[in-house]
Amino acid sequence: MAFEGLTSKLQETFRKLKGKGKLSEKDVKDAMREVKLALLEADVNYKVVKDFINSVSARAVGQEVMESLTPGQHVIKIVNEELIALLGKSESKLIVSKVPPTIIMFVGLQGAGKTTMAGKLALHLKKHNKRPLLVACDIYRPAAIKQLQVLGAQIDVPVFSLGDKTNPVDIARAGIENGKRNGNDYVIIDTAGRLHIDEELMNELKNIKEAVNPNEILLVVDAMTGQDAVNVAEHFNGNLDITGVILTKLDGDTRGGAAISVNAVTGKPIKFVGTGEKLSDLEIFYPDRMASRILGMGDILSLIEKAQESIDEKKALDLQRKIMQQEYTLDDFLEQMQQMKKMGPLKDLLKMIPGFDASKLGDLDIDEKEMAHTEAIIKSMTKQERQNPSIINASRKKRIARGSGTSIQEVNKLLSGFEQARKMMKQFAGMQKGMKKGKFKF
Ligand code: GDP
């Protein structure tokens, strides 16, 4: 994930600050120098770093901090607040047209992730009960149209195309007409990119903009390109007056500088980020959550939201009832595991937890393998065995191990783990009942 180097450097600085009972002006200055270096190393734009350090310093040497009982934490709080401001203050929602359809035009260099992002956004809108249409205006890159059609088919979203012989401006116009006729409330136009910015491309994009008057012109920027991403953003913004930015590939080993600079340099909000190659790898950009991720304070809110998206609420309630009534079986255990899997790799989830040391994640993949084994073991059991594991004797264990391609030891381990979980739930259910009866007071 992006920002790893930056986060560990900042945390080191913060650790030193927190350890001090009183802060002198020199302490603050030293800390600011370290923050500055960390940001520059993370490839944040030089001017952005300078302004940032100036605003933090101005506040950090003030009376407020010096008189605070926890001056170190106070400085961290200021860094957090200023970082949020730098990233765009608050979430910036999509601009929606009063009269549908809302027209969203995607622009950016080739390979930035435009086409993929068009698919991701369409899926995101669909999940929110919208009816998006994708329009294929990239007639130059071989297979770009096909790529969009394949993505559309995967998520069951229509794709409008007139092949690669029609002018993109005409395709965009016809696409919107098509969307209107079919009751689509969002039309997403995927335009062509080039490997480098060129005038011809810019003119074509300007012509499309003029012809369809989009509600949003979203610039898709590859976060891996570092400083260059900022130049690209400035150039596109200067020519097209974009309405927002989407950063892709934040899952990669990027230093994260682009993410931190792009809003400050263009004055345009980051609306979404791409965090992987899968179509579900899209996140709404929340400056405050991103700031706490960068500062290593975790991202508990994103974690909660992810869980809510993946977990069926009815099922969760049902599960709660089962726990209360001690009816929790291996079937439920399996289902819970499958829901966990929907949330994405365990590694990614754990990284969002504050204070979690990402460097200790080395052998986590094994856990995922173990999860696959657990699943195979439970699936090799009969319904009766899942409902009542106490009937699983030695010969049944042998059969289950063979059926799941595992060993008797693994079956035993799962059964004792499950038994332990059930015991804990029993205690928990007891406590809950006690609380209801007013036995426990706080
Ligand atoms: P376009 O030329 O701008 O339309 O770019 P594409 O959508 O074809 O994407 C270029 C490459 O980047 C493809 O291999 C995508 O799978 C990959 N890609 C796009 N978004 C992401 C992302 O958020 N994370 C990662 N790791 N890869 C991405």
- 250/259 Cα distance (integer angstroms): 8
Residues 81 and 129 in one domain: no
Statement to judge: residues 268 and 140 lie in one domain:
yes
Average pLDDT over residues 266-270: 95
b/e sequence 19-54, b meaning 16+ C-beta within 10 Å? eeeebeeebbeebbebbbebbeebbbbeebbeebbe
Higher-pLDDT residue of 414, 174 = 174
Residue 11, Cβ neighbours under 10 Å: how many? Answer: 18
pLDDT computed for residue 265 by the predictor: 92
Does residue 244 sit in the same domain as residue 140? yes
The alpha carbon of 59 and the centre of ligand 1 are apart by a number of angstroms equal to: 40
**Using alpha carbons only, what angle is made at residue 38 by residues 35 and 41, rounded to the nearest 5 degrees?**
150
**Is the omega angle on the peptide bond into residue 354 within 30 degrees of 0, that is, cis?**
no
Say whether 195 counts as a known binding-site residue: no
Shared domain for 134 and 44, answered yes or no, is no
CATH of the domain at 422: 1.10.260.30
CA atoms within 13 A on the CB side of 192: 27
174 inside domain: yes
d(CA 81, CA 189): 36
- The span from the CA of 231 to the CA of 266, in Å, is 10
Confirm whether 278 is domain-assigned: yes
Instruction: Return the pLDDT at 203.
Output: 95
pLDDT band at 72 (very low <50, low <70, confident <90, very high): confident
What pLDDT does residue 438 have?
Answer: 38
386-402 mean pLDDT? 93
The tokens describing 288, both together, are 């405050």
Whether residue 11 has pLDDT greater than 50? yes
Q: Are residues 133 and 257 in the same domain?
A: yes
| Residue 65's CATH number | 1.20.120.140
**Residue indicated by tokens 């950009």:** 285
327 is a domain residue: yes
Query: Same domain, yes or no, for 256 and 327?
Result: no
Which residue in 376, 30, 98, 218 sits closest to 12, CA to CA?
Answer: 30
Assign 74 a pLDDT band (cuts: 50, 70, 90): confident
Structure tokens at 371: 């999860």
Chain position carrying tokens 């923050």: 35
Mean pLDDT of 293-316: 64
- Pairwise pLDDT comparison (296 vs 391), residue with the higher score: 391
> Is the model's pLDDT at 3 over the cut of 50?
yes
Identify whether 97 is part of a domain.
Answer: no
Please indicate, yes or no, whether residues 203 and 109 belong to a single structural domain of this protein. Answer: yes
Instruction: With CA atoms as reference, report the closest residue to 13 among 239, 294, 266, 268.
Output: 294
Cβ–Cβ under 8 Å, residues 222 and 113: yes
Are 224 and 334 found together in one domain?
no
Domain contains 127:
yes
Determine the pLDDT at residue 352: 58
Mean pLDDT of the chain: 85
Q: What pLDDT is stored for residue 331 in this prediction?
A: 86
User: In this model, does residue 437 exceed pLDDT 70?
Assistant: no
| Domain co-membership, 175 together with 264 | yes
Q: Which amino acid residue places its CA nearest to atom 9 of ligand 1?
A: 113
Report CA(278)–ligand 1 centroid distance (Å).
9
Annotate 390-411 with three-state secondary structure. Answer: HHCCHHHHHHHHHHHCCCHHHH
Per residue in 26-38, pLDDT tens?
888 999 999 999 9
| Domain edge (last residue) among 297, 332, 361 | 297
Number of domains the chain contains: 3
Q: What is the CATH number of the domain that holds 151?
A: 3.40.50.300
What confidence score (pLDDT) does residue 439 get? 37
What predicted TM-score, i.e. pTM, was given to this entire model? Answer: 0.71
| pLDDT score, position 220 | 97
pLDDT band at 93 (very low <50, low <70, confident <90, very high): very high
The residue whose two tokens read 């304070």 is: 297
Using the predicted structure, report yes or no on whether residue 359 has a pLDDT greater than 80.
no
Atom of ligand 1 nearest to the CA of 190: 4
Closest residue by Cα to atom 19, ligand 1, is 113
pLDDT of residue 436: 44
Q: Please determine, for residue 306, whether its predicted confidence score (pLDDT) is greater than 70.
A: no
Cα–Cα distance list, 9 to 2, 40, 68, 114, 264 (Å): 13, 12, 25, 32, 22
For residue 108, give the ligand 1 atom closest to its CA: 3
What is the span of the domain harbouring residue 42?
4-87
Look at residue 8 and tell me if it is in a domain: yes
Q: Give CA–CA dist 358/346, Å, rounded.
A: 12
Position 344 confidence tier, pLDDT thresholds 50, 70, 90: low
Q: Is 108 annotated as a binding residue?
A: yes
Find the 113 Cα to ligand 1 centroid distance in Å: 4
215: confidence class by pLDDT, cuts 50, 70, 90: very high
Domain final position from 36, 54, 87: 87
Q: What angle, 0 to 180 degrees and rounded to 10, lies between the N-to-C axes of helices 287-294 and 71-87?
A: 130
Whether the predicted pLDDT of 440 surpasses 50 = no
Q: Give me the DSSP letters along 277-332.
A: SSTT-EEE--HHHHHHHHTT---HHHHHHHHHHHS-HHHHHHHHHHHHTT---HHH
Across 136-144, average pLDDT? 92
Mutate to test the pocket of ligand 1, among 277, 279, 280, 281 (most ligand atoms within 8 A of CB): 277
pLDDT at 412 over 90: yes
What integer is the mean pLDDT of 92-98? Answer: 94
Structure confidence at residue 409 (pLDDT): 93
Ligand 1: centre distance to CA 140 (Å): 17
The residue ranking higher by pLDDT, 231 or 299, is 231
Are 165 and 78 contained in the same domain? no
Residues 157 and 56 in one domain: no
The predicted pLDDT at position 442 comes to: 28
Tokens standing for residue 425? 């739930």
pLDDT digits (tens, 9 = 90+) for 270-304: 999 999 999 999 999 999 988 988 887 765 556 55
Residue 16 has pLDDT above 80, yes or no: yes
Beta bridge partners of 259: none
Instruction: Give the H or E element holding residue 186.
Output: strand 186-190
Question: What whole-number distance in Å separates Cα of residue 210 and Cα of residue 406?
Answer: 63
Looking at the fold, whether 313 and 191 belong to one and the same domain comes out as: no
Q: Domain boundary at 297, 324, 343, which? A: 297
Residue at 441 is within a domain: no
Pocket mutation for ligand 1, best pick of 109, 116, 117, 139 (most atoms within 8 Å of C-beta): 116
Residue-level pLDDT at 107: 97
In a domain, 165, yes or no: yes
Measure the CA–CA gap between 393 and 405, rounded to whole angstroms.
18
